[in-house]
Structure 1
Amino acid sequence: MDGTAGFFRLLHTPRVVFGRDFTLRQVAFGLLLVFCLTPRASPPIALALGLVLAQTVGNPFPGQTKNLTAKLLQCSVVGLGFGMNAHAAVQAGREGILFTVVSIFGTLVLGYFAGRWLGLGRHVVHLISCGTAICGGSAIAAIGPVLRAKDEEVSAALGTVFVLNAIALFAFPPIGHALHMTQNQFGLWCAIAIHDTSSVVGAAAAYGNQALEVATTVKLARALWIIPVAIGTAMLFKQKGVKIKIPYFIFGFILAMLVNTFVPAAQPLGPLLTHLAKIGLTVTLFFIGAGLSARVVRSVGAKPYVLGVLLWLVISTASLCVILHAV
């Protein structure tokens, strides 16, 4: 016990480096962050490093990384638009629209009945279902205020989808290779079956550039469903006077894609901006991993995980079967 206490004191004791006070935790965080800026770091590796940090020495900057994660992800997604062609994106979006509509409503309906069977509260069930159906944490953050959900309900939903995101980021690329999925098939599968945009883009980027283009386009088109689902939620749960959070960064992505396609003078900047966006995404996943401490994982409880896993397995398996046979 004394050894453990001494170790934690060592991690938290400030030391003077170059005239400034730093703890060993902060130094470890900084070194890992610098590594995530290098070409050797991929999105899965960055997430893994963040998870290791969270489970060992802990994240020394939880508030800062939480605030930066959403902004950095949004900027990175807009940057990816400078590497995409609008004509190809329209084709990808057209292919994904039917999958999107069916999977969103199917997930919400399945989540409702599975949640009742598990005896979970309506708010937690709806938040996890929306996160699975649309775009993970972004959907939960948008739907939570509409429901006037409690902080612990939002935290339980976020914890569930973030853990499943981490699993998907590592599991999906090997599955895609084992099944010899095409770039188009894998990109479409990622967009439908993985919750958060960050993990969708990370998994697709690990598979190939065409998969990345398809996955990003379909996922962002899917994210726009936050708006009608939020309106429907307000009506279903009889909430009046609520403010619906619109994901405006998606329009930035569309604008960047249009500029890259129709403004020849801007095209030379495309590779640089895309490269910076991929680095930003890698750092985003490091921050997400660093926020998933053992305490966060345990605080969710078993039943939300059961619901999240059930919905995830159904949507990922069903969409995989359809895509392999129809695309």
Structure 2
Amino acid sequence: MTLQTQGQAGLADQIAAKARHFGPGLLLCLVVSGVALAAEHVEAGFFGRAWLEALVLAILIGTLVRSLWRPGRRWLPGIALSAKTLLEIAVVLLGASLSAATIAAAGAPLLLGIAAVVFVAIGLSYGIGRLLGLPQRMAILVACGNSICGNSAIAAVAPVIGADGDDVAASIAFTAVLGVAVVLGLPLLIALLGLSVHQFGILAGLTVYAVPQVLAATAPAGQAAIQLGTLVKLVRVLMLGPVVLVLSMLSIRLRGRTDAPAAGHRFAPHHIVPWFIVGFVVMAALRSAGLIPTVLLSPLAGLANLLTIISMAALGLGVDLRSVAKAGPRVSAAVILSLLALGAISLGLIHLLAVP
């Protein structure tokens, strides 16, 4: 056997091992997604339109499956791959639908308003947490998680303020369930509050926890809402860098130290900005420069939508409704009230800027 043949055989073995590792969970997510797409089609046939998009149905069906049956260890790698990696790829592909004209149309007032909302929401959320009796570090984690980007913000801020594992676990326990609730419930506000497509896109970008979840939340309102919501959320995520830097300096000052803000922690920008955000920006830049052929825009958007549906199925399969009870009443109340406060501030910004 030649070296080339041995190399090919080794590569085939690696591919087979990866397929066995990720295959079961990925297949389960594909099945849930297929059922969601079929249900959307049936729904459209009966009612003339799909009141619940496949994205939302995938979450609901996945959550139902998870409530009736807890997937074993062999299913988990594929579910995790679908929930994270596929969704991140979808976000990158979505960048192809965003041009410089869309960014310019947002305007400097909106971009400055997003930064103001983040800092005001952090202060207000921190105050709510303290009033409810949360420890200082816990209140900071909840405030940053709600105001910026959920678990990612909590993970980035925790070492800066010296939070321990229990603080982090308690802070994120409620995020998965509440995040899904926001994705499912937010579109109801379109009719309830009489929001326009652009207003809803901004609201979703300012309140939904994760960048990928903005896709699911804004899908019922159309492509314009998806684009604007993603842009707003992108700016909001980028605020994590300045927030961590401020907390880092405050932490050093409070401890009277001039070295690292927390043991073993080193401020690193590449840990603050996820790779898929960079990819999203690159794709948007390529689109703005005319380097992505127009004929590819629709297929890229379709692929992003399909990957998002699969990821939403995985998100539903990962929702453990018992985490609400585990989070504790004070943490749960702080997170919910902080989210409501963020929504109120966001609506205030929308009306202040007179968004059409």
- With the shorter chain as reference, the TM-score category is 0.7 to 0.9
Separation in 1, partners of 2:203, 2:331: 24
User: Partner of 2:102 in structure 1?
Assistant: 88
Separation in 2, partners of 1:84, 1:127: 32
RMSD across aligned C-alpha pairs, in angstroms?
Answer: 2.6
Separation in 1, partners of 2:181, 2:191: 17
Separation in 1, partners of 2:149, 2:194: 26
Separation in 2, partners of 1:111, 1:265: 42
Match 2:150 to one of 120, 136, 140: 136
Q: Is it true that 1:52 corresponds to 2:78 in the alignment?
A: no
Separation in 2, partners of 1:148, 1:192: 27
Displacement of 1:95 in angstroms is: 4.6
Separation in 2, partners of 1:27, 1:126: 39
Separation in 2, partners of 1:149, 1:101: 25
User: Partner of 1:255 in structure 2?
Assistant: 282
Point out the more displaced range, 237-246 or 212-221: 237-246
User: Partner of 1:272 in structure 2?
Assistant: 299
Unaligned ranges ≥5, structure 1: 1-19
Aligned letter for 1:56?
A: L
Do the aligned residues in 1 keep the contact of 2:82 with 2:310 (CA within 8 Å)? no
Aligned letter for 1:253?
A: F
* Cα deviation code 1:289-313 (max 9, x no counterpart): 2222133232211111100111111
User: Partner of 1:304 in structure 2?
Assistant: 331
Match 1:210 to one of 224, 227, 230: 224
Displacement of 1:36 in angstroms is: 5.2
Separation in 2, partners of 1:62, 1:295: 18
Separation in 1, partners of 2:195, 2:89: 30
| TM-score normalised according to structure 2 size | 0.77
Unaligned ranges ≥5, structure 2: 1-19, 42-52, 253-260
Over 3 Å counting, the alpha-carbon distance change for 1:173 and 1:110 in structure 2 is same
User: Partner of 1:160 in structure 2?
Assistant: 174
Displacement of 1:68 in angstroms is: 4.6
Separation in 1, partners of 2:80, 2:291: 37
Separation in 2, partners of 1:77, 1:159: 25
User: Partner of 1:35 in structure 2?
Assistant: 35
Over 3 Å counting, the alpha-carbon distance change for 1:149 and 1:49 in structure 2 is farther
| TM-score normalised according to structure 1 size | 0.83
State percent identity of aligned pairs.
27
Do the aligned residues in 1 keep the contact of 2:151 with 2:175 (CA within 8 Å)? yes
Aligned letter for 1:242?
A: H
Separation in 2, partners of 1:322, 1:232: 24
Over 3 Å counting, the alpha-carbon distance change for 1:148 and 1:167 in structure 2 is same
1:203-242 equivalence runs, <5 A: 203-238=217-252, 239-240=261-262, 242=265
Task: Determine which structure has more spread, i.e. the larger CA radius of gyration.
Answer: 2
Match 2:208 to one of 182, 191, 194: 194
